[in-house]
Amino acid sequence: MPENFKKMKNDYNMDVSFVEERINYKEFIKHHSTGTKDDWGEIRYVALQPFFLRELLLKLSVERRLRAVLRLKNYTIDGLKKTFDFGGSVYDFFDIKNESTIDKLYTDRVARLSIILDIPIVYLLKNQPSAFEVKEIDFLEYFFLGKKKEFNELNDLITRPKKSSISPYVIENKYKGNEIFIRNKNNIKTRVVLEKTYFAIEFFIDSKLEFDIQKIKVIIKCFDNRVIKVMLSTPTLRESFKLSFIGTYIKEQQVEANKYADELVRYYEGQQVYPPVFQINPIPN
């Protein structure tokens, strides 16, 4: 049990009370741990219930929302500076002392942070966006920053990095003249994660019916059969799904890759879709 479990449980109960509207926002921020080493320590317990997580994040200000998602991703603000080359002003995104109801302005830095944290950019710009705004600017960050590539160029992107790298791409939905995802548009929003021992090529899709096992096997072949798992998950605050092809540069180095897949299962409603796994679940009489 974590040392600070009591504090995390208290914050968890604050989250529940806030979501259920038993306390207001002012009471919530007064009693919730913020700006300490325990900042949002409970968020991974919240994430075990995706609907609860969504409700909580939607009620928060942009700054507090980003703090919660940062902890959910197991990142730190200093880590963002060092690993992803954000300048000192990255602190401004998380500055709860300057919380404001005024909408933020779009910048490429906001878009980069959106892609790294894997949440729609609208939730970095507005405290409580309308349903129209959520739909209207969905994947805006990929529209502006995503580099255009053909599908057969994806494998060239998979090289072992000196430090972690997360990049957006807009990939043509065709390979050797055939559509990859049958219900998708012409282009696929794609998130490429390169870590020191593993990689993940993540395609955003609108429906679970867009792919089948044969298409998955074709894609795996594109990556020189370096993929060890294919996971289907639900990204934070999105209505779409994410199909992640997780692989390694060296066959023997699978520990971190498997941890990444496990996190998708635990916190993002993930399931392994390839290779098929025989699971023994109790069947009711």
Span 167-174, average pLDDT: 94
Is 17 strand, coil or helix? Answer: helix
Q: Are residues 82 and 196 in the same domain?
A: no
Asked if residue 150 is part of any domain, the answer here is yes
Asked if residue 204 is part of any domain, the answer here is yes
Q: Given pLDDT bands bounded at 50, 70 and 90, which one contains residue 92?
A: confident
Q: Are residues 27 and 105 in the same domain?
A: yes
Domain span including residue 35: 5-140
CB atoms within 10 A of CB 143: 15
User: Does residue 217 have a pLDDT over 80?
Assistant: yes
Total count of domains within the chain: 2
Question: What is the average pLDDT score of the chain?
Answer: 90
Asked if residue 282 is part of any domain, the answer here is no
User: Does residue 283 have a pLDDT over 80?
Assistant: no
Model confidence pLDDT, tens digit, residues 100-151 = 777 888 899 999 999 999 999 999 999 989 988 898 888 999 999 999 999 9
Q: Are residues 245 and 130 in the same domain?
A: no
Asked if residue 283 is part of any domain, the answer here is no
CB atoms within 10 A of CB 14: 19
Task: Name the domain boundary from 116, 140, 164.
Answer: 140
Cα(34)–Cα(11) distance, rounded to whole angstroms? 10
Span 206-230, average pLDDT: 92
> Which tops the pLDDT comparison, 90 or 102?
90
Q: Given pLDDT bands bounded at 50, 70 and 90, which one contains residue 285?
A: low
Span 150-165, average pLDDT: 93
Which runs of consecutive H residues, i.e. helices, occur in 188-269? 213-222, 255-267
Asked if residue 81 is part of any domain, the answer here is yes
AA identity, residue 25: Y
Cα(159)–Cα(60) distance, rounded to whole angstroms? 38
Is 101 strand, coil or helix? Answer: coil
Residue 2: what pLDDT?
64
125-129 long-range Cβ contacts below 8 angstroms, 24+ apart: 125/62, 126/62, 127/60, 127/61, 127/62, 127/101, 128/58, 128/59
Q: Are residues 210 and 267 in the same domain?
A: yes
pTM, full prediction: 0.92
Cα(17)–Cα(13) distance, rounded to whole angstroms? 6
Task: Name the domain boundary from 121, 140, 159.
Answer: 140
Residue 51: what pLDDT?
95
Q: Are residues 122 and 199 in the same domain?
A: no
Task: Name the domain boundary from 107, 140, 173.
Answer: 140
β-pairing verdict for 198-205 and 187-194: antiparallel
Q: Tabulate helix, strand, coil % of the chain (nearest 5).
A: 45, 20, 40
User: Does residue 201 have a pLDDT over 90?
Assistant: yes
Q: Given pLDDT bands bounded at 50, 70 and 90, which one contains residue 210?
A: confident
Count of positions (residues) in the chain: 285
Span 176-201, average pLDDT: 89
Burial 216-247 (b: 16+ CB within 10 A, else e): beebbebbeebbbbbbbbbbbbbeebbbbbbb
